[in-house]
Every structure is written in structure tokens, then in C-alpha cells.
Chains A and B, each alone.
Chain A
Amino acid sequence: MSGRSESVSTAGRRGADWLGPLLFTVYCTSYAAFVAVAAFATFAGGVPVGGLASEAVAGVPWGIVAGFGLIIGAFVLAVLYATLARTPQDGAQK
């Protein structure tokens, strides 16, 4: 019984081991893309040319859409991680 529980726990742990880096890479790439667009694709010679200055989405400017996306996206990934990376030990520790 204990051995089975340990192996399930180890499997759950292994899940957390790859899930964390995967989700981190997803978010890191999104954040880097946002920063790069703000720095290099939004202005040329001080004049808005595209990027965050592109036409708004449903009346909301791109900068706000991207910002809200990064904030809400962080929470969504965090919940995903907390749900999928749970191990049987987590339940026992409640």
C-alpha cells in the first residue's frame, strides 16, 4: 500500500518536474515578446508605427490587451500548475 502510494507520489512529482519548466518557458516567452514589441516595434523616430500602437481590439488599445493578458495569463498558468502538479502527499498535508 505504502509502496503504491510512493510510486503515485513520485509520478506526480515527476509531472511537476516537467510542468513547471514548461509553463515557465511559455510565460517567459510571452513576457519577452511583449517587452521586445514595446521596445523595438512600437515606435520609430519617436512616432507610433505598430506593435502596441497597432489598431485597437474592440476599442481597447493593444498595450492594455497585452498587459491584461500577461496578468490574467500568469494566474491561469499558476492555477494550472497548482492543479496538475498536485501529489497525493498534498492531500494528506491538508
Chain B
Amino acid sequence: MSEIVQPSPIAVPLGAVRPLLLNWRRHVPLLLVAPLLIYMLVLYALPVLAMLLRSLNDPNWTLSHYAALFEDVVFAKTFWITFNTSITVTLGCLILGYPVALGLVRAKTMAPLILVIILLPFWTSVLVRSYAWMVLLGRHGLVNEGLIALGMIDRPIRILNTTLATQIAMIHILLPYMILPIANALRQIDPSLIRAASGLGATPFMTFRQVILPLSMSGVAAGTLLTFVLALGFYITPAMVGGPRDITLSMLIAQQVDQLNWAYAATLSAVLLATALAILAAARHLPGVGNAFKTSMR
């Protein structure tokens, strides 16, 4: 590239105009993305920035909003609930998702069907799915009726509007984000490695422990990261099916915006964003995750 940029001796008297004209082609990619870039800048990035600025300059320039968070009991509790829910949901997705990813990769003729079943909820809106869980988990919902019919309980138990309900619904919604990166990593394992392990004396379980699991860790890391960061920002589902005391950060933000408490909402948003970015940045340095990023870019 650099030798093209250097002006030729003839071009020197013309100043910088000539190389500029010669190199307009280099800017074609930029021109192609410019419309979307401007759209996003004006309608998304600037408002977000303006919102975040309110945590610093409302009513005048100050760090007091951030300082106040350290003594804010409501914030501490909300932050803890959000983190706790995200960790539980991520672990749930991992435990339930890994075997499915394994099955998806192992299945030959069934694979397209399994993939559709995994993706079907993916194409339905979160709102609709949350409503569905309200129906299923309600007092006279399918779950309660089923448990009564099986004789496991005598009368309906409270599932809807509990922490458990939030976790069940969030795991359901976030599962594809865990399954797909793991399945992707598993699919990239050379099948001859599995044969080699078996031929060298490893039982199926030993092959899984020593070959399949370590080689799928990049997918596990990518899926865990994705699920956890998405879970941190969940709003609709905990608001609809969660317990009255299970207030997550995004619910608190919405509440504060409703009360026109902009500075506080902005401060909370900044903290949530910073947390998510910090986790992503830290995770990049974990072994295997960097590769997962590169793989998903391809």
C-alpha cells in the first residue's frame, strides 16, 4: 500500500492534489458503509453518549453520582441480583446446552431438525416467549396442572413471579447463544482425532475428557461470555415473570427513567455498560477465547 501513497517526483509540483485523486479508490469501502455509519451515529451513538453524559453533568459537572453509588444500598442489592441471575442462567445454559451441542454435531440425518428446534424460539420475539412462560408457569398453567395430575403436589404452587421463573425463562431464551458457539467449536474437531484416541486405547468417556472437551473450550468460552453479557442486560423477562423483589439493573434503570431521574439512570447505564465491556475485554485474554473471536469473525 505505502508505495502507492508516495507521490511520484512529477506529482510534487502539483502538491497533495494528485495523490489524493489517484487514491480515491482506497476510500471506496468507507463510502459504502458511510450511510449506515451516519445513521447509527446520529440516531444511536450520539443519543447514547448524551444520555451517558448526564451522569457527569447533571445539573453541573460532577462525579458525585458515581460516588453516591458506593453508599447506595438499592444499587448494591440490584447489582448483586443481576450478577447472581446472570451467573445462574449462564451455568444453566452451559449444563443444558453442551449435551445438545454434542448431539447436534453427532447427529447426521437428524441434525437439520435439531437445528430448527433450537432456532425456532430464536425467531420468536422475547416478549411473546415471556408471555408464553407466564401462561405455562401461572397458578393454573401447564406446569402446575401437570404436577397436580402426577400427584406430586396437592394444590398449585407459586412459580410465576419468583426468581426461579426468571431463571427458567431466561435459560430458555438464551440457550441458542450457548449451543451454537459450542456446536461450532465441536464441528471443527477433526473426526480422525476421535478415531485416533479410540485406537490408542481411550474409552469413549476418556476421549471426551481428554480430547473433545479441551478442544471445545473455545466454544464454551464464547458461549458463556455471550450468554452472560446478554443476561446482564435482560429487562423484559425478569420484569414479566420475575419476583417482585428481584429487581435487575435494567429494571432499575427503566424505573428511574419513568421517574425522570435521568442522572441516576445514566449513572446506572454507564456502570452496566462498563461492566459488560470489562468482562469482554478481560475474557479476550483467556486462552482459547481470542481464537473464538477470530473464528466467529470468519
A and B from one assembly? no
